[in-house]
Chain A
Amino acid sequence: MTRHYTQEHEWIEVEGDQATVGITDYAQGQLGDITFVELPALGASLSKGASASVVDSVKAASDVYSPVGGTVSEVNPALEDQPELVNSDAEGEGWLWRMTLADSAELAGLMDDAAYRAFVDSL
């Protein structure tokens, strides 16, 4: 399994043509208390960079963009009652959706863990 990151603070973990997407721990820290997550529809076709989900914090609503193109195969059912999982475990139990990749070549432009840490440190 390989985990990639975007400059918009999403993470995507890939295994074969399946991937899990969430927002980074840095992102949840910046957003503060998360009160609602709007998830994409099962079967929805997402294109790379398209708004796929909305994370509502006490302060503001923020779009989450799909790191790559693909089809939504699962959404995190726990977030309906416990959106705060995105705060407590953004890069684990607070995952947002799973998808079948359309084109794994789209992963090429994403950051690896070290590059993302360096990117965050530069902010």
Chain B
Amino acid sequence: MSAVPVTAKKDTGADTAQAVGTRWWTPYALLSPGMLWLIVFFAVPTITLVSTSLQSGTLESGFSFTFEFGNYVDAVSGSWEVYLKSLVYSLLATLSCLAIAYPLAYTMAFKAGRWKNIMLVLVIAPFFTSFLLRTNAWKTILSDNGFVVTWMHNLGILDVLHAIQIPVIFADGISGADRVLQTPLGVIAGLTYNFLPFMTLPLYASLERIDVRLIEAGQDLYATPWTAFRKVTFPLSLPGVVAGTLLTFIPAAGDPVNASLLGGPRDAMVGNKIYNTFYRLFDYPLAAALSVILMAMIVTLVTLYVRRAGTEELV
């Protein structure tokens, strides 16, 4: 290094991994086009959404900003059941995703060997077929006379799920007595399926980083495989669990597609409500208020959860 005639400036640049561009404004020049786009088409619209939610008027007479907090009162009093349902559905979907994705990510990280990369490709691959077509395909798989529903019925699973009836959330049971489509179970199954990769990839990333010798050390100290998992592997994979649950829960809570395609009219979620308020009722302020509440709810829950899980690094 010392024999090479590089200037001192370049040398420190390389050491701090700052190889290109040393002028102070270079990073800002690189950032500004993209950040400008995000400010104009993400930050500004979000502010507009909040201001729209405080407007009053109708589509015909035009809307004007009047600090109309009544929109929020209307949104909460008219749709609290829908919010509650959305939260419960997406929470159950997130838990199912965790249960399915953990063994998958574990297999990829520790058992797949030379198949690891292929399996990674296979996890992403279903993404390449249209999301709507795949969700519609579940209508075929879960159709009322199909073998999946017939078997679930014969094994008594549907009877048990149908018997679980909770007012407001599962008023008619989690599933029908002999059907899955047009019931909450259909919606939850669809959400679970569609957001599974969002759970699998962060889990895999955090499991893959674990030093296998730590788990072996645990087993050398007479831990059973289960104890080793509980005391070593699982705690070390927690950042992945946190990131995965957030990346699954957030989009699932606002998703309108699964509830429309796989659920019945009574299983509508917030996403459907917002969409219908915009496009069927043309009540833009109310729709905006519904959106703001959803956003506020998610931000609150995520903050509480991240505080509790105690990890700040998410991306």
Q: Do A and B come from one complex?
A: no
